[in-house]
Amino acid sequence: MTSQPEPRDGDMIRTTFDAVTEELEPGVLLVRLSGEIDIATSDSAAAAIRAAVAPPTRLVLIELSAVTFCSSAGLGNLVEARNLAGRHNITLALVGVGRPVDRPLSVTGLGGQFRIYSTIQQALADL
């Protein structure tokens, strides 16, 4: 959990975020992101993504079904993941993309730049 000051009254705003990485099989990692991905949590998201999208990994699935908000900083995390995967010749896919992530991906035109699957099983079967 991360807190940041509210500029108007000095109170703290609570932003909830978590990232859990799991090895599904050798060379295949699942990164489960949950909560809000915004400026307060994007460094944590980036760290989890960078750790996963590195050799000798061959496939990274980023599971987003529990994400409740995705700001431009969160989109930046996903673009960084895509770019890192390309540099390391790692296949990357997004899984469980709900409205909080789908909407900004669609509005910005970034959705077409990712492999997107409804479930982990679909992604694994296709990739």
pLDDT higher than threshold 60 for residue 24: yes
Instruction: Report which residue type is found at 99.
Output: R
**What pLDDT sits at residue 119?**
97
Q: Where are the domains of the chain?
A: 18-126
**CA-to-CA distance for 64 and 105, rounded, in angstroms?**
12
pTM, full prediction: 0.89
Top CATH class of 18-126 equals alpha beta
**What pLDDT sits at residue 36?**
96
Task: Identify the CA nearest to 30 among candidates 56, 1, 64, 55.
Answer: 64
pLDDT higher than threshold 70 for residue 11: no
**What pLDDT sits at residue 3?**
42
**CA-to-CA distance for 46 and 101, rounded, in angstroms?**
16
**CA-to-CA distance for 14 and 3, rounded, in angstroms?**
5
Q: Are 49 and 43 in contact (CB under 8 A)?
A: no
**What pLDDT sits at residue 1?**
42
User: Each residue of 76-119: pLDDT tens digit?
Assistant: 999 999 999 999 999 999 999 999 999 999 999 999 999 999 99
